[in-house]
Amino acid sequence: MKETCFHCGLDVPESVKLSVEFEERARPTCCAGCQAVAQSIIDAGLGSYYKQRTADAAKAALPPDEVLAQLKLYDLPEVQADFVETGADNQKEAVLMLGGITCAACVWLIEQQLLRLPGVVRVDLNYSTHRVRVVWHDTQVALSDILLRIQSTGYTAAPYDAHKVEAQHQQERKQFIVRLAVAGLCMMQTMMFAIPTYLYGEGEIEPLYLGILHWGAFIMVLPVVFYCALPFYRGAWRDLKNRRAGMDTPIAIAIVMTFAAGIYSLATNAGQGMYFESISMLLFFLLGGRFMEQIARRKAGDAAERLVKLVPAFCHKLAAYPESEAAEEAAVVKLQSGDVILVKPGEVIPVDGVVLAGESEVNEAMLTGESLPVAKRAEDKVTAGTLNTVGPLIVRTEQAGGNTRLAHIVKLLDRALAQKPRVAELAEKYASRFVLGELLLAVPVFIGWMVYADAHTALWITVALLVITCPCALSLATPTALAAATGMLAGRGVLISGKQSLETLAQIDDVVFDKTGTLTKGELSVSRTVALGSLGEADALAVARALEAQSEHPIARAILRHTGAEQVHEADNIKVMQRVNRIGHGVSAQVEWRGETQIWALGRAEFVAGISGSLPDMPEASHTGSMVFLGNQRGFQTAFLLEDEIKDGTPEMVAALKAQGLRLHVLSGDRSAAVAHLADTLSLDAYRAEALPEDKLTYVEALQAEGRKVLMVGDGINDAPVLARADVSAAVAGGADVARDGADVVLLNDDMRVLPQTVAQARKARRVIAQNLRWASAYNLIAVPLAVFGFVTPWIAALGMSLSSLVVLGNALRLLKK
């Protein structure tokens, strides 16, 4: 029986013995082309394509560009199913892992190349993790075009897979260690051959032995030049192809120049200096600096990577629940809304869902920063990435994959780590121009020293200049500090998501708070009802519940929870039509009840007065809590008095923010008595009560007109406009999605004490970035004249350049300290 090709489905010729390994079995392929394409799909973690396709792929001849043919496979819907999401306006979004990035300038180049593609909407490239999130219009550009553009720029890209990324990091680490070890051994050997030439003067060593020393040094430097220096050659070649001057360009030129000069000296038997020991020392120190930089970069971006790795690859799916609790292994990426899974003790919950059965405690520290476990039982919600610690839980899936809260957090982190403060953008432009200026400066320096001294002196001074002035420290100054600061805050349950928000947060003068749900718990309860008309309490509660049945507002939830003095029996007999909800005012509707139809309203006094007329006298006007009114066309009927509690930790938060020199305000749509009482209790600087959404907007704009930088903290839908207008916005845990999505800072837990910590971290990050930039600039200002005037040897230049980068990285890592 003839075998068929695993990839295309055609018969495999008997003379062909080609195969690919898939699911621990060798699968036959009909030609080298099919073997290469299939292997690429499997290596990229997309082997599920061969399970999902409904028919064998059509046999087609590979085009001359085999790489393009392989990339085109990523455009297949069945291949994209595992890693591409479809968002608003039919936009596609994918997370890719990149290879070949050597410095922060590479990030800029990839971003610019992708953004020039028509149809690419956004590119968020995380320098710390080498992960890029790309959003594009599928009708204008294909995913294969994006991958091809990255590849043609000189880098590699593939769909993100946490396990593959870890394997890639381990492989890169191993290569670094091997290159560093080879460079170190060769450095010692070349120095062994070079030391006699240092100790004895010209002509004191016999020509035979001098030749042995020179040839020995030449042989020992070959692995350094042709193996250890490969990353620098690749980077320089990539820069050349993209017509730019990058960090690797001057280093590659210096290595090639020195090696060429050494070969020339060896061939002409010119003197005792052979340069080979300088090359090996130069590469050893450069690789050592890069290796330390890689470790520091990964440490700085560790928070984002840990979040990505939280969700397991497999879970226990209950296919026949509740009839049967028999579990089967299932891939998490295949889970859909409504699927039921079993989460055993010690396992990470893979989805956002609702507990159907079981009781346990869940550790949510990775997401919220809260170390104490949270009790979970039937009907409680659970979040992907949290750890089940005590008992088994049966969970119904609500969101999986890219729609979970954890995935949203990772997106925000990627966006935060891709942001560039204005000072960083200026530094990048300066660094690129500096490299170009350095290359131009090297020409007159070489010529001048050759005229003044000799070619040997001119060469090593020029090489030292090219190496010591490489602006790596300048390029690292900002991204490493941002990664460290953002990662530290993420560990405390604070997400920085807005562009340049960390930079702006360090400059704020005023903090403006919403009241309900922000400074207070937002868990309002009806303390009592006051009759203003002939309607009884039970009837008033029935109508109020009917009006608020579709609302998630804290006031609505308080009314829906309240039982009242009597049991409500008639709520189901109330028919509500033409409901109108005015944000910040209240809700009104046409209500059919007890044989008559009337307009009812529930909300602020002036809103209800538009239907019910003027408000009667209120003896409880001194009530310091919230108050809403119910009325109809016959007048006001009932007042609901509501109480709320100040959040735990809020007084400490206020005291800490005041100690930082900030002015604090509260804006609320609540009654003056309630807001004034809160402001007095917390010793706030200013307050505004009975504020509509447009009033809050005007208040913040007035502060900004005075030249103040404003941080707005809120949680509700009515806060969305003012959150967008503030210089920096923060949304608290449990807030409305529209508030969280539009905020620059998201607080994942209810402990408001993290807010002053966030401001302090932002100010510290700003200081560290400024220190790094000053150090990098001062280093270059000092290093250039020292190198030009010949006070630096090439190996000292390499050591100085590496140490300058490590100083910047070490300073940035201080931001990880608690």
Catalytic residues: 514
Q: Are 368 and 733 in contact (CB under 8 A)?
A: yes
> Shortest CA distance to 464 belongs to which of 786, 184, 808?
786
| HEC letters along 140-187 | CCCHHHHHHHHHHHCCEEEECCHHHHHHHHHHHHHHHHHHHHHHHHHH
**Consecutive H or E run containing 512:** strand 510-514
Phi, then psi, of 362 in degrees rounded to 5: -120, 130
> Shortest CA distance to 20 belongs to which of 31, 8, 12, 28?
28
What CA–CA distance (Å, rounded) separates 170 from 307? Answer: 19
Q: Using alpha carbons only, how large is the chain's radius of gyration in Å? A: 34
- Ramachandran area for residue 261 (φ above 0: left; ψ -120 to 50: alpha; else beta): alpha
Angle, vertex CA 665, rays to CA 662 and CA 669, nearest 5: 160
Q: Is the dihedral of CA 308, 310, 314, 319 positive or negative?
A: negative
Amino acid occupying residue 661:
G
Q: What tokens does 480 get? A: 């490493």
What CA–CA distance (Å, rounded) separates 3 from 292? Answer: 51
What CA–CA distance (Å, rounded) separates 416 from 768? Answer: 17
Q: Are 383 and 397 in contact (CB under 8 A)?
A: no
What CA–CA distance (Å, rounded) separates 278 from 460? Answer: 9
What CA–CA distance (Å, rounded) separates 544 from 323? Answer: 40
Q: Is the dihedral of CA 744, 750, 752, 755 positive or negative?
A: negative
Q: Are 311 and 350 in contact (CB under 8 A)?
A: yes
Q: Are 329 and 451 in contact (CB under 8 A)?
A: no
Burial readout 540-576 (b: 16 or more C-beta within 10 A, e: otherwise): bbbbbbbbbeebebbbbbbbeebebeeebeebeebeb
- What would the DSSP string read from start to end of 123-138? EEEETTTTEEEEEEET
- With residues binned 3-state (H G I as helix, E B as strand, rest as coil), the percentages for the chain, rounded to 5, are 50, 20, 30
